[in-house]
Structure 1
Amino acid sequence: MAHKELVLDEVDRGILYALQQDARNVTIQEIAAEVDVSGSTVRNRIEAMESMGVIEGYAPKINYERAGFSLNIMFICSADPDDREAVAQDVLEVPGIIDVDEMLTSERNLHVKAVATNTLDLADITAQLNEYGLIIHSSEIISNNYTQPWSPFEYGTDEE
């Protein structure tokens, strides 16, 4: 399905950059000062980007190990290309699965992230992925994850 694309200007990109840095703690007024517009303009721009699907949501970054889930695993899988999208959405129902990336190219077209407390949980998740017809090429234990805001969104970079 085709989506209408919102053309982002420098202010929109600056707002997105600020939200990527710390959406929970940054205020509308702080963003407005950073991108040199009024608070109401920032609110309107955020609402427009939310309604157009540019901003899809706001989610906390969780340290699963500190939350009692000591295993954070990335499964590299293959699904039938004709069923890939449906399977990607369906496997989110498996307890422990927290994220699925659908790849457009390569045989290894689904990357499935899961959390578990022990190897028994891990075995259950693996079995359920197999029930969806996935071929698991590898399962890797993730020790750390690092992210940063995408730099072209930084206000004042004039990148289009």
Structure 2
Amino acid sequence: MGLELDAVDRRILHLLQQDARHNTATDIAESVDVTANTVRNRIRRLEDAGIIKGYVPVIDYEQTDKSMHMVVQCTVPIHERGAIAQTALGIDGVVGVREVMTGHRNLRIDLVAGDTDEITAAVSRLQQQGIEVEEQELLKAEYLQPFDHFGLSPADD
């Protein structure tokens, strides 16, 4: 079992999910009612435990030259799923891979491209790696929010 999280840890995680860039240790400390040094120590502990794996910007690809965002649903041999996921990440245009716990459509690949030719080229490279492409979906929009599995209501913010 992983690191046991208390209410302070859960609140820190929630605030970082809301806005890791602008929520400073001091801001979080005020909200959680601990010192900024405690917040920094807790964040370091959460990072060391692998609970916080990084800080990644959320990119609106429509505002870039890679305005097409595709979800490619694939099937790969289950025993090779992890290795193939890592291989897929090395393909130009692939920005994310999810392993799915199913036998069919068990790999979901997010890729971005500037046009349909780039999509075709990226999908072709996936297929050359032995990845069976089942379906391609062009995303219109994606909406994210902090996961409230810690029971924090909006009134707590």
TM norm structure 1: 0.92
Number of aligned residue pairs: give it.
154
> C-alpha separation between the residues in 2 aligned to 1:23 and 1:154?
19
Check 1:43–1:154 CA distance in 2 against 1; reply closer, same or farther (3 A cut): farther
Using the TM superposition, name which of 57-66 and 102-111 deviates more. 102-111
The residue number in structure 2 matching 1:33 is 30
Give the superposition deviation at 1:35. Answer: 1.1
> C-alpha separation between the residues in 1 aligned to 2:152 and 2:106?
35
Gaps in structure 2 of 5+ consecutive residues: none
| Root-mean-square deviation (Å) | 1.5
Check 1:154–1:58 CA distance in 2 against 1; reply closer, same or farther (3 A cut): farther
> C-alpha separation between the residues in 2 aligned to 1:107 and 1:34?
45
TM norm structure 2: 0.93
Query: Does 2:150 correspond to 1:153?
Result: yes
Q: Secondary structure at the match of 1:24?
A: coil
Contact 1:77 1:111 in 2 (8 A): yes
Contact 1:75 1:137 in 2 (8 A): yes
The residue number in structure 1 matching 2:64 is 67
Q: Deviations over 1:34-83 (max 9, x none)?
A: 11111111010000000110000001100111011121000000001111
Q: 1:85 aligns with which of 57, 82, 93?
A: 82
The residue number in structure 2 matching 1:134 is 131
Give the superposition deviation at 1:143. Answer: 0.8
Percent same amino acid among aligned pairs?
38
Q: Which is bigger in relative contact order (C-alpha 8 A, separation at least 6)?
A: 1
Structure-to-structure mapping, 1:105-116, within 5 angstroms: 105-116=102-113
The residue number in structure 1 matching 2:122 is 125
Give the superposition deviation at 1:156. Answer: 7.9
Q: 2:15 aligns with which of 3, 11, 18?
A: 18
